[in-house]
Amino acid sequence: MKVMFIGATHEVTGSCTYIEACGKKFLVDFGMEQGLNAFDNVKVPCAPGEIDFVLLTHAHIDHSGLLPLLCAGGFKGQIHCQSATANLCSIMLRDSAHIQEFEAEWRSRKGKRKGKQEVEPLYTMSDAELAIRALCPHEYEQPVKLGEGISVLFRDAGHLLGSSGIEITLTEEGQTRTIIFSGDIGNTDIPLIRDPQYFSHADYAVMESTYGNRFHEKPADYPTALAKVIDETFARGGNVVIPSFAVGRTQELLYYFRQIKQAGLVKSFPDFPVYVDSPLAIEATAVFNRNEDSCYDEEAVGYVRKGVNPISFKGLNIAVTSDESRAINFNKTPKVIISASGMCEAGRIKHHLKHNLWRSECTVLFVGYQAVGTLGRKLVEGAKNVKLFGEDINVAAKILVLPGMSGHADKAGLDRWINALDKPQVFVIHGEAESAESYTAHLHDDLGLESHCPYSGAELDLLTGEFVNAKPMPAVHTERESTPYIRLKAAADRLQQLVKMSSGLTNKELAAMTDTLNNLCAKWEQK
């Protein structure tokens, strides 16, 4: 039984852990790195085709975003997750593929004028479709057997619709070990979804630490705090622009805006319009409405039982097409604009920032975590000038952060999660280095737990408990490998796996395969 830590080690994105146990090889999450990464990750120690299955904690791209690349590389197994996560992934992975293809096309078009080669997307829509077809949905609290000696249970993590902590029970040669992956642990009192549900027993716990060194500053009343920002901005004649994660955060905001309008909290303009400009957010909202029975909290269910949609209200406007999106910024009426992405790295939000950042009467309101290196982080840290679509934009708008509005547990919330367990050995991941190391020390010094903060490549023997940390690999921020080369290496991994699986073929079939491969090599050796 072996665990290898791959991604989100001393970093807050790119979650991925590799496990070998009971004759199986599998991953927990396979996420995309976002923002600036301080460390490089080791490669998954086997070809995609050798991986038997994947366990997915939730749909956010930093946990799921490389699953299409895995499938493109030859992965043929199933991706096990909670049913709402499967629903969300079906739209989020398509959206991610669309972004990959769109940005590749845009960069190719831009580079062509300079005589540069075409840019290839990291993966395509067809790759995303392969990953979506591999999704295997399960319900909370129902144990699932995934092989001899392997049992898995999904429990509500309270972070996002369908988000899960995953309990993995492994029995090999008469010895049983339980390892729990926290996924992203949710904040308490988040609209719509339930608070985190806790586990009671584990030999090992792998837990996140996004806010491992912070306590959230919660306003006494979210709707009142939001209404105050809106009122002050409208008094200046400006717009409130909210970069928001399309899935989860947008729906929470709609819930609050319904309460604001119902209570008449915006005195200057009670019937103010709210624009949701994100096709993904619109689709995700429909998924939220379909999963109300299994995932909504009691307050939200109460609205539904009364025949009230908790995330819809008068004055809500949906922008689906590009023309509808562009029209928002030519409408002079003060308004709230909610658009993705939440860290301002892609999507329509960049267009709204271009039109509003330079206007001193406007407000850009951040309501979620901003990773190091992202445009959102630069704005929060006081950037006076940013580049959008090749154009320098002066930052004159008021930049605000709504304290405490986070989908992640703070240090107190993390403590509640780990204190529910019976003193397991703990491995702290998914946090920037300072946060992860601080929380690891807190677990050891204050809570009396054996704790580690692994680097990518660290290994844990589940039977003995022996942990071998890897040496940190500081990222060298030079030009990355080209996407075509990355895809070529993935194809080589797939070929290697095909060769391994071919031992049962007839001599004639083996000879034909050999000739084909030799001819292919000869062709490209002549280039």
Specify burial of residue 172 (Cβ count, 10 A radius: 0-12, 13-18, 19+): middle
What residues are paired with 356 via a beta bridge?
Answer: none
Q: What pTM value is reported for the model?
A: 0.82
Residue with tokens 């199933």: 78
Asked whether residue 156 carries a pLDDT value surpassing 70, the answer given is yes
Residue with tokens 């692994």: 454
Residue 121 confidence class, pLDDT cut points 50, 70, 90 = confident
Average pLDDT, rounded, for the chain: 89
pLDDT at position 445, please?
97
pLDDT at position 501, please?
73
What residues are paired with 81 via a beta bridge?
Answer: 137
Maximum mean pLDDT: which of 96-110, 118-132, 241-255, 368-382:
118-132
Measured CA distances, 301 to 11, 67, 160, 263, 371 (Å):
36, 33, 16, 20, 33
How many CA atoms within 13 Å lie on the side-chain side of 494? 14
pLDDT at position 478, please?
43
pLDDT at position 145, please?
97
Q: What is the DSSP letter of 264?
A: T
**Alpha carbon distance 219, 443 (integer Å):** 28
Asked whether residue 271 carries a pLDDT value surpassing 60, the answer given is yes
Region of 390 (left: φ > 0; alpha: ψ -120 to 50; beta: rest) is left
Nearest Cα neighbor of 310 from 376, 243, 258 is 258
Which token pair is 227? 């209404």
pLDDT in tens, 493-506: 777 767 777 877 88
Better pLDDT: 247 or 394: 394
Measured CA distances, 132 to 129, 138, 359, 400 (Å):
5, 15, 42, 37
Nearest Cα neighbor of 415 from 396, 438, 433 is 438
pLDDT in tens, 402-414: 876 778 999 999 9
CB of 132 closer than 8 Å to CB of 70:
no
**Alpha carbon distance 450, 430 (integer Å):** 18
Mean pLDDT (whole number) for 243-269: 89
Asked whether residue 54 carries a pLDDT value surpassing 70, the answer given is yes
**Alpha carbon distance 60, 56 (integer Å):** 10
Maximum mean pLDDT: which of 263-277, 361-375, 473-487:
263-277
pLDDT in tens, 325-336: 999 999 999 999
pLDDT in tens, 279-299: 887 888 888 878 777 778 787
Which token pair is 304? 């539904």
Nearest Cα neighbor of 239 from 313, 338, 146 is 338
pLDDT at position 480, please?
47
Asked whether residue 351 carries a pLDDT value surpassing 70, the answer given is yes
Task: Give the list of residues 6+ apart from residue 137 with CB closer than 8 angstroms, or none.
Answer: 81, 82, 83, 85, 86, 87
Mean pLDDT (whole number) for 52-73: 96
Nearest Cα neighbor of 167 from 194, 138, 188, 193 is 138
pLDDT at position 466, please?
96
Question: What sign results for the dihedral spanned by CA atoms 429, 49, 68, 101?
Answer: positive
Residue 308 confidence class, pLDDT cut points 50, 70, 90 = low
CB of 363 closer than 8 Å to CB of 352:
no
pLDDT at position 523, please?
75
Cis peptide before 200 (omega within 30 of 0): no
pLDDT at position 479, please?
44
CB of 336 closer than 8 Å to CB of 274:
yes
Cite the beta strand spans of 353-449 per DSSP E.
363-366, 385-388, 391-394, 398-401, 425-428
Asked whether residue 222 carries a pLDDT value surpassing 80, the answer given is yes
Asked whether residue 228 carries a pLDDT value surpassing 50, the answer given is yes
Buried b (16+ CB within 10 A) or exposed e, 435-448: bbbbbbebbeeeee
pLDDT at position 491, please?
72
Asked whether residue 85 carries a pLDDT value surpassing 90, the answer given is yes
Q: What is the H or E stretch that residue 243 is in? A: strand 240-243
Better pLDDT: 341 or 411: 411
Task: Give the list of residues 6+ apart from residue 171 with CB closer than 8 angstroms, or none.
Answer: 22, 149
Neighbours of 165 (CB within 10 A): 29
Q: Tabulate helix, strand, coil % of the chain (nearest 5).
A: 35, 20, 45
Mean pLDDT (whole number) for 465-469: 96
- Look at residue 266 and give its three-state secondary structure: coil
Asked whether residue 218 carries a pLDDT value surpassing 90, the answer given is no
Nearest Cα neighbor of 349 from 373, 372, 371, 379 is 379
Asked whether residue 106 carries a pLDDT value surpassing 90, the answer given is no
Better pLDDT: 265 or 477: 265
Q: Hey, what amino acid is at 106?
A: W
- Look at residue 251 and give its three-state secondary structure: helix
Asked whether residue 99 carries a pLDDT value surpassing 50, the answer given is yes
